[in-house]
Amino acid sequence: MKRKRPSINVLEYNRYAWDVQAAHGNKFTIPVGPAVIAAARRGEFSVLLTETRPAPRDWFPMDFTGLDLLGLACGGGQQGPVFAALGANVTIFDNSPAQLERDRQVAEREGLSIRTVEGDMRDLSVFPDASFDLVFHPVSNVFCPEAPPVWREACRVLQRGGLLLAGIANPIYYLFGTMLEDQQTLTVRYPVPYSDLESLTPKELQACLEQGTPLEFGHTLTDQIGGQTDAGFAITGFYEDICPDSPISKYHPSYIATRAVKL
């Protein structure tokens, strides 16, 4: 008899799962230290959209002072405090209360002003149109079932001429599965678009749920790149990056980063 898949509210489950990741010290939940903030106050900074390669300095405005910046699905106390120390007016929007708490902790420790807002990256209705000059969106829509609504909302809340800096998982990563044991043989197992809800076996899915592992979704390049241009962006910068823990990276980059301008 075929085992029935559980009915899951992805937004609620991934909120819980990222709180679990924060409690367990996932590397994406560890806030920056005082030395990083001190350097940013001197105008020296390095932030990641992907995993190993810093975003180029010339992707950013020359001066952050007074810049209205949205860190979209960007909690964890890693990038937001750096931008605040550079002089930006920073809002961090994330689905995980624990991740938002990391930003508040750094802000309190360093005397920074950071606004934190909890919510779904597909719905930024809490913000009026044209609220921000820059949206910084590290690899995170892999935890969202849909990518195009994220781009549409990012475009709506940006000023005309505003910047979207985004990290994206290359869909090739999902052909082999997200578990390291699956990737060792690099045997194609899944089609893209990928969904943990549909692609994993019921047993594998149940194991993820029991461990508090965030659910992932591998979006097509049509939705990731075409979704940006369809939303009203012109892409003006592009690079690739690796996932150092993944065997795939011996052969092909696992990440993409884009710089886009709202037309």
| pLDDT number for residue 4 | 59
Pull the structure tokens for residue 16.
Answer: 């819980």
In this predicted structure, the answer to whether residue 38 has a pLDDT above a threshold of 50 is: yes
pLDDT higher than 60, residue 244: yes
DSSP per-residue string spanning 180-238: HHHHTTT-----SSEEHHHHS-HHHHHHHHHHTPPP-EE--HIIIIIHHHHHTEEEEEE
20-29, 170-179, 211-220: which range is least confident on average?
170-179
182 or 35: whose pLDDT is higher? 35
pLDDT computed for residue 118 by the predictor:
98
Average pLDDT along the chain? 95
Give the separation between CA 253 and CA 146, rounded to whole angstroms. Answer: 22
**pLDDT at position 2 over 60:** no
Q: Predicted confidence band at 41 (pLDDT cuts at 50, 70, 90)?
A: very high
Q: Which amino acid is at 201?
A: T
CA 247 to each of CA 86, 215, 250: distance values in angstroms, whole numbers, following the listed order: 36, 21, 6
- Tell me, what amino acid is at 115? R
pLDDT of residue 185: 83
Q: Phi and psi for 23 in degrees, rounded to 5?
A: -65, -30
The per-residue pLDDT for range 83-124, each reduced to its tens digit, is 999 999 999 999 999 999 999 999 999 999 999 999 999 999
Enumerate residues 6+ apart whose C-beta is below 8 A from 132: 68, 69, 70, 91, 157, 158, 159, 162
Mean pLDDT calculated for residue range 132-156? 98
What is the model's pTM? 0.95
Cβ atoms of residues 242 and 254 within 8 Å: yes
pLDDT of the residue at 262: 98
| pLDDT for the residue 247 | 87
Is residue 178 classed as helix, strand or coil in its secondary structure? coil
Range of weakest confidence among 74-88, 145-159, 170-184, 218-232: 170-184
Q: Which domains does the chain have, with CATH numbers?
A: 10-262 (3.40.50.150)
Spatial CB neighbours of 248, under 8 Å, sequence gap ≥ 6: 172, 173, 176, 183, 186, 254
248 or 156, which is more confident: 156
CA proximity to 114, closest of 144, 146, 137, 88: 88
Among 42-51, 175-184, 227-236, the range scoring the smallest mean pLDDT is 175-184
Residue 1 has pLDDT above 60, yes or no: no
Is the pLDDT score of 65 beyond 90?
Answer: yes
**Residue 117 phi, psi dihedral angles, 5° rounding:** -135, 130
**Residue range 141-170: mean pLDDT, rounded:** 98
- How large is the average pLDDT for residues 234-260? 94
**CB hemisphere CA count around 47 (13 angstroms):** 32
Q: What is the pLDDT of residue 7?
A: 82
Report long-range pairs for 221-229 (Cβ below 8 Å, ≥24 apart).
Answer: 221/171, 223/146, 223/147, 223/148, 223/193, 224/141, 224/147, 224/168, 224/171, 224/256, 225/168, 225/256, 225/258, 227/147, 227/148, 227/150, 227/151, 228/151, 228/164, 228/166, 228/258, 228/260
pLDDT at 218 over 90: yes
Cis amide leading into 145 (omega within 30): no
